[in-house]
A = this chain, B = another copy of it.
């Protein structure tokens, strides 16, 4: 049987800078695709259908759920977000790694659907820097910042359920990406992923 691809989940509390790190990871990763999620929310400026998300109606989304076409999904601030099953499974079966950029709920859902998934959490260096980063955007009111901070802290509660974490130091997104790539490399060297390796040695004729 051909080697299957590795499902790779990367989550990060709001304000950690995931949007800068993941493109570096995707650029370097060989034989891997980014899992494009479906969502019922409106596209924002600059978002492309089929690249950022598949933008679909709630009706279409619910039909997909009913048909079992969603590998995982959850509702967030009134909108549905989910991972189309067929695309992901085809890629994994053909030996291609799949990267999931999902929140902590999505991460838990991917793990239960795909138990061999690797869960990596990108973290801010410390709580203070998280606050500073949310502030430095300059777009949000103090009230919104506090809400986002509270949300981030809630996401951080999931830390022990992620297998690895990488700290995204200020202005060093590329370095964080390299660390994530190193984790992916190491995961592929786990003996549990090679149940047939010994058999090969045993069956070789001397």
Known contacts A127-B201, A200-B126, A204-B127; A189/B183 CB under 8 A: yes
A204:B165 contact, CB within 8 angstroms: no
Residue of B nearest to A146 (CB): B206
Q: What's the minimum C-beta distance from A141 to chain B, rounded to whole angstroms?
A: 16
CA distance A117 to B60 in the complex (A): 50
Interface of A, secondary structure class, is: helix
Chain B residues contacting A127 (CB-CB under 8 Å) are 200-201, 204, 206
Q: How many copies does the complex hold?
A: 2
Segment with Cβ contacts to B, from A2-10, A92-100, A156-164: A156-164
Q: What's the minimum C-beta distance from A204 to chain B, rounded to whole angstroms?
A: 4
Cβ contact of A156, chosen from B126, B164, B201, cutoff 8 A: B201
B204:A190 contact, CB within 8 angstroms: no
B163:A190 contact, CB within 8 angstroms: yes
Residue of B nearest to A178 (CB): B185
Known contacts A182-B186, A186-B186; A128/B204 CB under 8 A: yes
Chain A, residues 162-206, CB within 8 Å of chain B (1/0): the string is 111110000000000001001101110111101001101110101
Chain B residues contacting A192 (CB-CB under 8 Å) are 160
CA distance A114 to B162 in the complex (A): 23
Q: What's the minimum C-beta distance from A2 to chain B, rounded to whole angstroms?
A: 18
Known contacts A126-B204, A179-B185; A198/B164 CB under 8 A: no
A149:B206 contact, CB within 8 angstroms: yes
Known contacts A201-B127, A206-B149; A187/B186 CB under 8 A: yes
Q: A29 interface residue, CB < 8 Å from B?
A: no
Chain B residues contacting A165 (CB-CB under 8 Å) are 189, 191, 194, 197
CA distance A124 to B153 in the complex (A): 46
Chain A, residues 114-143, CB within 8 Å of chain B (1/0): the string is 000000010100111011000000000000
